[in-house]
Amino acid sequence: MIKFVHFLFFCDYMKKKKILWTTDIHLDFLKNKDLEFFIKEIQNESPDILLIGGDIGEAQSVCSYLQKLDQSIECPIYFVLGNHDYYRGSLYKVNEDVCRISNSSKKLFFLDTIPFVELTKEVALVGHSGWADGKFGDYNNSEILLNDYVLIHEFIGLDKNQRLKKLNELGREATAKIKMGLISAFKNYKKVLCLTHVPPFRESCWHEGKISDDNYLPHFSCKSVGDVMKKIMQSKPDCHLEVLCGHTHSPGSAQILDNLNVITGKATYGKPEIQKITYL
């Protein structure tokens, strides 16, 4: 009898979906042999679902990298974009191109365009690329000038006040999408994974083992998204939200509420890696 119970448990485990998460992979920093090695690492894990948290390439390369992954990986690929994916291009054009190749693929799913996805009967996936909204830290006195502001069309030529308005706008856009996705998903699912690029809480904006300071926080976190997440989860004590983000290249975790936690991924240019493997 004991052996039979163990066998049933093993069978149930084997039925679980294997979900692999990676973020800030910056494939444009890799030589061809290194790209093939990274793809082989993913293939060897035989995931049922692959999650990619943005910063895949740059504006001129992100679509070709997505197509390469589409051709090489057997499972569905759910992804968002990061700030680097728009470098030397425009937000509008990159999103348009990415939507086009996603719509023509059976395995690529751009989460910015999807309300939510059922991963299992109990768990749903929500996602949006997100953007730093300038609301954490001290934007007015921050001396940080990111490459975003000189390499992305929509930011080029903006003064500091105009830039903040643009950051606020992009933050509101991300917040509206994530809010809609969470509200819809929690109608039928008790647990939701949220994939995004930008940390939505001060506590999740890690840098070298510490929380980013007020100089960097305005450019590396999205308060608007975090506020919405916290409000929704406070109203749903029986549900759980886990957020997967990146952007800062430093790993860490933050327990925001009993039912809301955030994991921030690690990244090193030229050395993409698998962040987490989950079974659902």
**63-112 tens-digit pLDDT:** 999 999 999 999 999 999 999 999 999 999 999 999 999 999 999 999 99
Tell me if 157 is assigned to some domain. Answer: yes
For residues 217 and 84, give the distance between their C-alpha atoms in angstroms, rounded to a whole number.
18
Residue 60 domain boundaries: 16-279
Tell me: pLDDT of 158 over 60: yes
**What value does the mean pLDDT take over residues 158-185?**
98
Tell me if 227 is assigned to some domain. Answer: yes
Tell me if 251 is assigned to some domain. Answer: yes
Distances (CA, A) of 253 to 54, 204, 250: 18, 6, 10
In the chain, what percentage of residues exceed pLDDT 90?
Answer: 93
Tell me if 1 is assigned to some domain. Answer: no
Tell me if 11 is assigned to some domain. Answer: no
pLDDT for 208: 86
Instruction: Return the CATH number at 21.
Output: 3.60.21.10
In the chain, what percentage of residues exceed pLDDT 70?
Answer: 95
The amino acid sitting at 114 is I
**8-46 tens-digit pLDDT:** 333 344 578 999 999 999 999 999 999 999 999 999 999
pLDDT for 166: 98
Q: Name residues whose C-beta falls within 8 Å of residue 16's C-beta, 6 or more positions apart in sequence.
A: 279, 280
Structural domain total, the chain = 1
For residues 174 and 182, give the distance between their C-alpha atoms in angstroms, rounded to a whole number.
12
11 — alpha (psi -120 to 50), left (phi > 0) or beta?
Answer: alpha
pLDDT for 15: 73
Tell me if 9 is assigned to some domain. Answer: no
Tell me if 239 is assigned to some domain. Answer: yes
How is residue 241 written in tokens?
């939200």
